[in-house]
Structure 1
Amino acid sequence: MMRRVWPLVVAAVSLGIDAYVLAGVLPRVADSLATTVGAIGLGVTAFTAAYALAGTTLAKRATRGSTKRALLLSLGLFNVANLITAVSPGLTVFLGSRVLAGGGAGVLTAVATAAAAGMVRQEHRGRAMALVTFGLSTGTVAGVPVGMLIGDQIGWRWTMGLVVAVGAVSMAALVFRGGEIPAIPDEPGSGASVIVKSPQVLIGVLLAFVFGVTSLGLYTYLLPMAADRGLGSWGFALIWAWGIGGVLGSMLIGRQIDRIGSRKLLPVLAVALLASFAAVAFLPQPVAWLAAALVWGATGWASVPTLQDVLTRTRPKATTTIVAFQMAAMYLGSAAGSALGTALLGGGTPAGDLPMWAFGVQVVAVVLAVIVGARSERAATARDVCPVR
């Protein structure tokens, strides 16, 4: 049964590459299109904004009818948009293609996660959702460096070709190996009403935003942080430690979600992430930073499916909507965290002090994680006492 989820994992790999790979080749893209790095950087912003908007407004509508059709259409849009990016003759076409790619990615992430959860038995739900996150983390960790290497050697357009190739493979896998994908249940009401009417989900979406600010936002400045603390020569090792941690965390957390329970794991992951920031902030030893980066990557990525399961296990019919808002909040939080880091550095804050700022924000995440876990416990108890017929 779990093998049927793998075409969705491959699709998530292409999403993981595309979300971050352009950041590593911005100067080359700018030179090729005869514009500035700042102008090309707007492509990252356009992708994130379209991801958030499309995921939260279109994902639920896309699942009406055939789930496989929704997956193929969103993945097809994503692939075509990246192909347009690869052959863009100028800035206007480039930015437009990033909007389309972000829209396709936003819908695809939510639908793929909900489809994965619906393709397995209830006791394997956490593992299936974690596999999609495993694809995202693997694409980021392995695909981004490979894409940057391709960009350095033969050009950034071939980097985007890598994203298109992986996306094409996932489309082929869905068509020929995906089989029938069950329809995704649809909870009545608009997407926004599903979020607003549930304090637990609303707090969970806020928590996803804070996780994005701290974990992904701070990661943007890992290299300058290390350099400021005299660990510049360890930068490459730290990036790989964070990445390996992310892959391991997303790969291993699924079984623990199903065995221990996501509502118990969520506060633990938030505290572990807090501890990793404390280690980076206060310990100068390279070994401590390597261990902290490993834990940081593992807990940051593991928190994604854990939070998804906490928010959707008692409301499976709202999975598509909840995941769309959660992932949109996470990516927007990442952008906000990066912007906050830029503002702090511009105001004279040393890069080595950024972990302290992240530590302070992560305290808020710990509090929110405890609240979400407690509310989930009450929701599960209420469901068991008064089961929905």
Structure 2
Amino acid sequence: MKNIRNNARLAEPPPAGAVCEVRRHGLGMAAILATGTFAVGTDAYIIAGFLPEMAQTFAVSNAAAGQSLTVFAICYAVMSPILATLTTKLPRRPLLIAALVLLSAANIFGSLSSTLWQLLGARALAAFGAAIYTPNAGAVAARLVSQEQRGRALSIVIGGLTLSTALGVPLGSLASHWLGWRAALMIVSGLSLLAAVGIGWSLPKLSGQAAVPLKERLVVVRHPGVRSVLLLTILGMGATYTVYAYSLPVMAEVGVNRPEAVFMLFLYGVGAVFGTLASGHATDRYGPRRILFANYAMMTTAFMLFASTVGQDHLLTVLVAGFASFFWGATSFAQTPPQQHRLIALEPKQSALVLSLNASAIYIGIGLGTMLGGIAIIHGAQAIFLTAGAIAICAFLYVLGT
């Protein structure tokens, strides 16, 4: 966003004084948008915190229950560009509120599910709400700040997702332990409604963009740079989510008990918050490519450390797993701000679209990673860690070669 004039056709033209006021508080508004991504992230990732209990409720295997994350991811990936096209002309504030209300309703339906198939339907509905909210929240945040602050604004919005892994998922795991996993989904429903109220109260009026047919929108994928960025997103997120959905049963296999495993998820989330915020600042200062290069090197190292814990002494396993969990989380989420930064730089006039495509790529990676993890877990913990590490190496080599 080079200056406010570039956004004249995207937003309702405010007075000059209002422009200054909006831009002065742009990062604060990004933080409010992050409350919505916190709700979305908690919804998307919380299942990892009670996967074994949910599998037991529906009398299915952990791998089968884990496909609820795959359904969410694939539906999100498919619907994100379609919904971006259908909603492009709508004002941003009511659109974001409606997305969060839909997410809330989906979690209520999920909590009332009596079969796995009903739950999968609820997860698909939740994906629709998330697919509307997340890319539009990022695009709105980018519109509310100067170009120099764009990386920080994006990192704040994505920080809502990462904070959900630090607090939402472990707290959800504890809530499911004491109250049941159904109650945990009801809590997510309440979070979504609170975020909707906050956005309705504080976000300025912003109009949508000019309508562009889906076929024309997808023309941006022909841009070699855009394709390159999206493929890297799929690889990086695929590496991360090969393990994530199955983290509790995998941790148990290497000798980490349930309370310790919940703490590992907390460390993952703390690392995710650190990685996102540090990545945003570093991207603004050093550029995205250098950050991505270092990121995938560290991600590969984290998975190799996990693999080394198999068969080790309990104390050593816990210490190494804790260290690896932090860097796993940091590198998982540090990749998103520089990727978004690269896409907006490539297609500044189609920021909402390219961010929605990147969100699709993220969830394609999540879906593929979860499916690979479901296969690898059959062969044990070390197999799943090595599979994730191999994908991370591919991402590292891809950055090196492009």
Following TM superposition, by how much is the alpha carbon of 1:135 offset from its aligned partner in structure 2, in angstroms? 0.4
Between the aligned partners of 2:110 and 2:250, the Cα distance in structure 1 is: 32
Deviation at 1:10, TM superposition (A): 0.4
Contact 2:85–2:212 (8 Å) recurs in 1: no
The one of 205, 209, 216 aligned to 1:190: 216
Shift of 1:105: 0.6
Aligned position for 2:382: 352
Q: Which runs of 5+ in 1 are unaligned?
A: 373-389
Q: Does 1:338 align with 2:370?
A: yes
* Identical amino acids, percent of aligned pairs: 28
Decide which of 183, 187, 192 is 1:158's aligned counterpart: 183
Residue 361 of structure 2 corresponds to residue 326 of structure 1: no
Q: 1:371/1:319 Cα in 2 relative to 1: closer, same or farther (>3 Å)?
A: farther
CA 1:279–1:345 in 2, change beyond 3 Å: closer, same or farther? closer
Partner of residue 128 from structure 2, selected from 103, 118, 123: 103
1:248 aligned onto 2:274: yes
Determine if contact 1:9/1:135 at 8 Å carries over to the other structure: yes
1:84 maps to what in 2?
Answer: 109
Match of 2:200 among 175, 182, 205: 175
TM-score norm. by structure 2 comes to 0.81
Distance 1:158 1:185, change over 3 A: same
Answering whether residue 264 of structure 2 is matched by residue 238 of structure 1, we say yes
Number of the residue aligned with 2:337: 305
Alignment partners' CA distance in 2, 1:352 and 1:31: 24
Find out whether 1:361 has 2:391 as its counterpart. yes
Deviations 1:219-269, CA, capped at 9 Å, x for gaps: 344455555556669644433322211111112322222222223322121
Please name the residue that 1:377 is paired with. Answer: none
Which residue matches 1:119? Answer: 144
TM-score for the superposition, normalised by structure 1 = 0.84
The CA deviation at 1:167 is: 0.9
- Seen in structure 2, the aligned counterparts of structure 1 residues 198 and 276 have a Cα distance that, compared at 3 Å, is same
What residue number does 1:266 align with?
292
Q: CA RMSD in A?
A: 2.9
Residue 128 of structure 1: how far off its partner (Å): 0.8
- In the alignment, the residues of structure 2 paired with residue 89 and residue 226 of structure 1 have an alpha-carbon distance, to the nearest angstrom, of 28
For residues 182 and 7 of structure 1, do their structure 2 counterparts lie closer, same or farther at Cα, with a shift above 3 Å needed? Answer: farther
2:231 pairs, out of 206, 209, 227, with: 206
Counterpart residue type for residue 200 of structure 1: G
How many angstroms does 1:29 deviate by? 5.0
Aligned equivalent of 1:68, options 93, 99, 109 = 93
Measured in 2, the distance between the counterparts of 1:345 and 1:115 equals 39
The structural deviation recorded for 1:322 is 1.9
Residue 160 of structure 2 is aligned with which of 125, 135, 145? 135
How many residues are aligned here?
A: 368
Report the Cα offset of residue 142 of structure 1.
1.0
Stretches of structure 2 that go unaligned for 5 or more consecutive residues are: 1-24
**CA positional deviation for 1:338:** 2.7
